[in-house]
Structure 1
Amino acid sequence: MYRKIIVAIALGGIEKGEQILRKAASLLDEGGEIVALNVVEDVPTYVAIELPANMVEDAMKDSRERLGALVAATGITAAVEIRNGPPAKAIITAAESHNADLIIVASHVPDFSNYFIGATADRVVRHAKCSVLVDRQKL
């Protein structure tokens, strides 16, 4: 069905990551590729002044280790990629740079604070140039 799938996994919801990776594997063409992606957000400058200089680098290293462990635990073959910046933009940029034909992104069940879907998922759906599968998460 799909030859290149970007699976965006938030480490705050890593327990959902295995389910999303399995869904990606079930949609993948033979010989296709899955990229497990986590985005570490930038720290605003006014906050960064008070934090250790290597905080973002440490967070990216930790993300790579945790995401790598998740992928290994599932037994699914997937590349692990860590990016930093605004999550929606980083996910879309990753999809474009990998020439992906599907993005899978999780979103919690909406409430009145964001009626339709989560803010990141909403931006990805609106701006991605490929198909997007939004996997609902219960709070």
Structure 2
Amino acid sequence: MYKKIIVPIEIGSIEKGEKIFRKAAELLDNGGEIILLNVVEDIPTYVAIELPGNIIEDAMKESRERLGGLVAKTGIPAAVEVRNGSPATAIIAAAEERRADLIIIASHIPDIYNYFIGATADRVVRHAKCSVLVDR
């Protein structure tokens, strides 16, 4: 069905990530590609002053390791990519750069500010140029 699928995974919710990763494998064409993506958010400067200088690099390294572990655990072949920045912006940029035809994103139970889906999923749905499947 799809040739290239971006699967953004929040490392703190790796179980949800595994669920959508398996769904991506079911929707993938033969010879297609899945890209597991994690985005490490920037830390505001006023907070970063109090933290170790390599905190972002360490978080990115941990993300690569955890996503690699997910690939090993499931046995589903996938590329692993870790970016830094705003999650929605980075997800959309990855999809455009990789010419993805689907993004599968997990959504948490929303609060009053984003009643239907979570904030990141909402932004991705609104601005992505490819199809987006939101899993709850």
TM range (shorter): over 0.9
Letter in 2 for 1:75: G
TM-score by length of 2: 0.97
Gaps of 5+ in 2: none
- Deviation, 1:17, is 1.6
The aligned counterpart of 1:43 is 43
- Deviation, 1:18, is 1.5
Asked if 1:23 corresponds to 2:34, the answer is no
The aligned counterpart of 1:131 is 131
Gaps of 5+ in 1: none
Within 1, Cα distance between the matches of 2:19 and 2:117? Answer: 19
Within 2, Cα distance between the matches of 1:46 and 1:33? Answer: 40
Within 1, Cα distance between the matches of 2:22 and 2:114? Answer: 27
Deviations 1:106-132 (A, max 9, x none): 001334342011000000000000000
Matches within 5 A, 1:88-103: 88-103=88-103
Letter in 2 for 1:46: Y
Deviations 1:42-86 (A, max 9, x none): 100111111111110010001100111011101100001000100
- How many residues align? The count is 136
Within 2, Cα distance between the matches of 1:111 and 1:63? Answer: 27
Deviations 1:23-55 (A, max 9, x none): 000000110000000000010011111111111
Q: Say which SS state the counterpart of residue 76 (structure 1) adopts.
A: coil
Within 2, Cα distance between the matches of 1:79 and 1:33? Answer: 8
The aligned counterpart of 1:105 is 105
Structure 1 outlier segments of 4+, above 4 Å = none
The two structures, once aligned, show a CA RMSD in angstroms of: 0.9
The aligned counterpart of 2:69 is 69
Once structures 1 and 2 are overlaid, which stretch shifts more, 53-62 or 104-113?
104-113
Letter in 1 for 2:130: C
